[in-house]
Structure 1
Amino acid sequence: MIIDLSGKTAIVTGSTRGIGLAIATGLASAGAQVTVVGRDQGRVNSAVEKVNAAVGRDAARGVVCDPGTLEGTAALIAAQPQADILVNGLGIYGAREFFDIDDALWEEFFQVNIMSGVRLSRHYAKGMRERGWGRIQFISSESALNIPTEMVHYGVSKSALQGLSRGLAKVLAGTGVTVNTILPGPTRTEGAVQMMADLAAERGVTAEEMEGLFLKENRPSTLLHRFASPEEVANLCVYAASPQASATTGAALRVEGGIVESIA
């Protein structure tokens, strides 16, 4: 299968590193022109350079804004009024005892993890519908189905994305615009690597050993028995953004290594 996204424009929020950067690189490698979105000018510049270097052409541009806010959404739309592919990758996470999650933190997770995707999809889906082609993705998590006790607020926000994605897919039924969620599991991003290193230091083991312990203790149902790479997640996103995925919509596409105990 050859995926060709030549002539398509893509926006990937939260794409200065990790899964988002891998998705931006994957889409650019398939021929798309990609807008990298982040909140820090230095990181955006670095990500654009990495994408362009990886594909050997000027495939990426950067927009510095925070789509987790109304002002940031408006800034992104002004800089890039239309897109064929929208990947809502912006998200925050962090462990917190449930009884210590105050209203302000719940609201922050709601705005960043959910409303950023709502606002951008509300705008870009209109143009996609008018042109008769488009791809919208929400980067969710296996935590949407397996709510982690140490991150209830995070899991709830990802569960909400599942409902949002399914509902929007129904709104856009028959238009040529597909909407899906992508469900990664533990992925070897910069943040995850640092977390494993910190835990390894506390427990006196290597970072590699800590990954195995983490999976055994926290994700014992894994069938992969290792963390995925950002590129492995991005591969599914690139396929879902392709013309070949035209019959895949309203779906929760899992790339979580078999952690979820379901055959559906």
Structure 2
Amino acid sequence: MAISRDARGGSRKDEHVALAEELRGEHAPAGVWDDIRFLHRSFPGLAVDDVDLSTTVCGRPWTAPFFINAMTGGSEKTALINADLARAAAATGVAMATGSASPALKDPALAHSFAVVREQAPEAFLFANVSPEMTVAQARDAVGFLSADALQIHVNPAQELVMPEGDRDFRGWPDRIGEIVDGVDVPVVVKEVGFGLSRASIAAVAEQGVHVIDVSGRGGTNFIDIENRRRDRQEFAYLSGWGQTAAECLLDPLHR
């Protein structure tokens, strides 16, 4: 059953949050990581005190390979969520990405729902987030909203197809991504939104000079399910299991 926009507070972003909570745990693929095992080493050759989780991402040091990935922004309700997430990032020293800046790029009055992240986490490594449909100027504006250290470009054709008001033309996305890479002054990450990136997709964006690829595989928030709940006709439940898991994405490029 479709859920009306009025019932969700008039904002697509608020609808997404409400539906993500409502659908949490539904249709999650069983055992996504159950077949993955750590390789045991009987001769590790180091002391426990030598263990170091620090790493480098986009040329910057991180204390651990964990971060708060893109979720939301673009409304009063989601501004509060972003503020809470930013405080958590500041307290734990992890990086954070915002959701798509598209709402603020269309209505500058909504920019505060993204800028609040930098206000609450002044020292954190932050990712801005745009779609490949944005212009270079818009990508720069998104970075400016929160003085971002890097820019995510999300690719989400499956979500767009099910979204009632979604895009239907995906031509030229790699070239658009390349233009943004060349036109912004921060490292660029290309990410999926929960459906994974195949070897061919990874190759297409790697050629454009992106700095990091985030496969964002199936198994978490399912935007096909979320967008399907927002529809009042032509339901797409049969696509609920669409996409590759992160493990499948990571193994795919190895099998050449």
- Normalised TM-score (structure 2): 0.40
The answer to which structure has the higher helix fraction is 1
Q: Kindly name which structure, 1 or 2, has the bigger radius of gyration based on alpha carbons.
A: 2
TM score, norm. by length of structure 1: 0.40
